[in-house]
Amino acid sequence: MDATKLRRAIARTRLAPVAAFPKRLARVARHDAKVLRASARWLVTSREHHNYTYELTTLSRHHLSWFVSVVCDVPVGRVRGWFAEIEGDDELRRHIERATAEASRRGLADRQVRYARRIGWYAMVRATRPAHVVETGVDKGLGSCVLAAALLRNAAEGHPGRVTSLDINPEAGYLARTAPWSEVVDLVVGDSVASIGALDRPVDLFLHDSDHSRAHEKREFDAVEPKLAPGALLLTDNVTATNVLAEHAERTGRRFLAYRETPARHWYPGDGIGAAWGRPAS
């Protein structure tokens, strides 16, 4: 019996997994070694202990540009232009580097500025030109700065807007307390659900990125629904963990799409962006 026939014969028996064991072991070991190398490098080079920052792989960046293109119904070339715009914003980059170096929590923050999926948030604000953005969960304020940078560009083109950034921690948002970004950011301290209930202006773009428990995410989308402007865009940072926004979209007659990011050279598997949009007029 030749080797091919023998392999086929073994593949039909209960011995097949045993015979394939060396190959399977090599595959999983190669994968795990890559994660271990990235983890070891990160443990000695990074200071972060949560809300990790990283670049996206080139492929993941491509997929994000198409995701924004579909959700916002704009040509993908324009989205790539907005990615280049935020990544080439040296004034914002220098500000974040400086503010990070001076912050009281500097021992737990990396100096390198890495936006990951937040370039998608930026492009969505540039594409939809919202008058009022609400972001729940601020942490250092990296996302608030990115949203503010998009709003400032929109304002320069005649479409002003503001972002209300909600966090339960009074120390959150230190990156977003410097002009010109602070001029379009309203930091609100308190539980996000209560703060959403107190909003007195319609919301054009809502981003959940606070307490990532399923129950809290659902409470936020339920609370914001009556506050939304017609045609509002809903985003969640929790889409790799829950189906809350997809269920909300189905209940409210919207479309839904999810993007899962892939970090480059990092052990963390990444987060994503869930988007719900296009509620038919009632």
Ligand X SMILES: C[S@@+](CC[C@H](N)C(=O)[O-])C[C@H]1O[C@@H](n2cnc3c(N)ncnc32)[C@H](O)[C@@H]1O
254's tokens: 């919207």
Give bridge partners of residue 260 from the DSSP assignment: 272
Contact track, ligand X, 49-78, x by CB under 6 A: --x---------------------------
Q: What residues numbered 90-129 form the site for ligand X, per CB under 6 A?
A: 118
168 binds ligand X (CB under 6 A): yes
Least distance (Å) between residue 277 CB and ligand X: 20
The single residue among 64, 92, 138, 233 that binds ligand X, judged by CB under 6 A, is 138
120's tokens: 């998608």
Which range in 12-20, 69-77, 130-138, 221-229 contacts ligand X by CB under 6 A?
Answer: 130-138
Residue closer to ligand X, measured from CB, 137 or 161: 137
Question: DSSP assignment, residue 144?
Answer: H
58's tokens: 């080139």
Residue closer to ligand X, measured from CB, 78 or 212: 212
166 binds ligand X (CB under 6 A): yes
- Count each helix (H run) and each strand (E run) in the chain, helices first: 11, 7
Peptide bond between residue 130 and the one before it cis (omega within 30 degrees of 0): no
142's tokens: 């990296």
> Among residues 32, 64, 35, which one has the least CA distance to residue 265?
35
Asked if residue 125 lies in contact with residue 155, where contact means CB atoms within 8 angstroms, the answer is no
What's the CA gap between 168 and 246, in Å, rounded?
26
198's tokens: 């107190």
- Whose CB is nearest to ligand X? 143
Least distance (Å) between residue 177 CB and ligand X: 15
271 binds ligand X (CB under 6 A): no
The single residue among 209, 217, 244, 263 that binds ligand X, judged by CB under 6 A, is 209
Q: Which residues of the chain form contacts with ligand X (CB under 6 A)?
A: 51, 118, 135-139, 142-143, 166-169, 172, 191-192, 209-211
